[in-house]
């Protein structure tokens, strides 16, 4: 390839990245993403904004119930969703920019509950609250858990737990810690599985765009920015 042709190809892919505006979907999922005074904030939100701006990729960002946010990225061109757990079932459905966070999916009980689980399998006897399209619920279903109560979001599930309509609920460990900081009477009961969470993009998003975003994420991880952001949300 001649020098002129090489320059042309480089400029072409650069302009492609610049031109591909993304629609970014997320959910109310503190501390990773949440709205405060009309602004979308959170540990993952800050990272997504940094890498999009650093890569020079135009975007719009909206908050939806998780099932809708997830479906948008699954079915709509140039759409991504965060903070998405990369599971074996989801891995091939998206193009990934990760990790925005490392997390655990856990079972939670009320602090005054007498339930004691020696192993995850012991939870099959209880009614467990999960959220639609949530990785924790999907994992429990794949393991043969039948007594699953599906809600739109974690807040609805928590109400059911506090109202004794369910005995356990599945959530991310980060959400558990956030709710405990707010005084909710819940505690860890058992681990479900470890999570690597990232920005999941519809396959229509160009490889060039994904590569630019991953480069920017790698940069903020290596220079300590990701750790500094995480520390602010842990305090």
Rounded CA gap, 46 and 159, in Å? 29
In terms of residue numbers, what domain contains 38? 3-102+196-234
Torsion angles phi and psi, residue 133, rounded to 5: 65, 20
Q: What pLDDT is recorded for position 9?
A: 47
Half-sphere exposure of 47 (CA within 13 A, CB side): 35
Rounded CA gap, 146 and 131, in Å? 14
Q: How far apart are the first and last CA of the chain?
A: 54
32 plus 86 within the same structural domain: yes
Q: How many domains does the chain have?
A: 2
Q: What pLDDT is recorded for position 15?
A: 46
| Angle at 44 (CA atoms; ends 36, 178), nearest 5 degrees | 60
Q: What pLDDT is recorded for position 14?
A: 47
77 plus 132 within the same structural domain: no
Note if the pTM is more than 0.85: no
182 plus 202 within the same structural domain: no
184 plus 132 within the same structural domain: yes
Pairing mode, if any, of strands 95-110 and 168-172? antiparallel
Tokens representing residue 107 in the block? 């079972």
Tokens representing residue 57 in the block? 């990729």
Number of Cβ atoms within 10 Å of the Cβ of 199: 30
Query: pLDDT 10s per residue in the chain (235 long)?
Result: 555 544 444 444 444 444 579 999 999 999 999 999 999 999 999 999 999 999 999 999 999 999 999 999 999 999 999 999 999 999 999 999 999 999 999 999 999 999 999 999 999 999 999 999 999 999 999 999 999 999 998 999 999 999 999 999 999 999 999 999 999 999 999 999 998 999 999 999 999 999 999 999 999 999 999 999 999 988 6
Q: What pLDDT is recorded for position 4?
A: 52
50 plus 93 within the same structural domain: yes
Q: Kindly report the CATH number assigned to the domain that includes residue 142.
A: 3.40.190.10
Collapsing DSSP to helix, strand or coil, 47 comes out as helix
186, 166 Cβ separation under 8 angstroms: no
187 plus 202 within the same structural domain: no
Q: What pLDDT is recorded for position 7?
A: 45
């Amino acid at each position: 390839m001649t020098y002129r042709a090489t320059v042309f190809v480089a400029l072409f892919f650069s302009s492609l990245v610049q031109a591909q505006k993304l629609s970014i979907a997320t959910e109310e999922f503190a501390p990773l993403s949440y709205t405060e005074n009309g602004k979308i904030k959170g540990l993952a939100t800050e990272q997504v904004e940094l890498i999009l701006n650093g890569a020079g990729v135009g975007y719009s960002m909206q908050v939806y119930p998780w099932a809708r946010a997830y479906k948008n990225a699954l079915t709509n061109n140039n759409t991504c969703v965060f903070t998405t757990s990369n599971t074996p079932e989801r891995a091939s459905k998206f193009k990934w920019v990760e990790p925005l966070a490392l997390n655990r999916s856990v079972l939670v009980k009320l602090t005054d509950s007498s339930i004691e689980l020696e192993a995850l399998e012991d939870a099959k006897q209880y009614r467990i609250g999960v959220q639609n399209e949530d990785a924790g619920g999907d994992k429990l279903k794949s393991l043969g858990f039948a007594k699953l109560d599906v809600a739109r979001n974690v807040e609805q599930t928590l109400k059911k737990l506090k109202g004794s309509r369910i005995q356990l609920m599945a959530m991310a460990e980060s959400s558990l810690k956030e709710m405990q900081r707010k005084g909710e009477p819940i505690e860890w009961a058992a681990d479900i599985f470890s999570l690597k969470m990232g920005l999941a993009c519809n396959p229509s998003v160009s490889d060039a765009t994904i590569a630019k975003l991953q480069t920017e994420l790698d940069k903020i991880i290596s220079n300590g920015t990701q750790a500094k952001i995480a520390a602010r949300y842990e305090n």
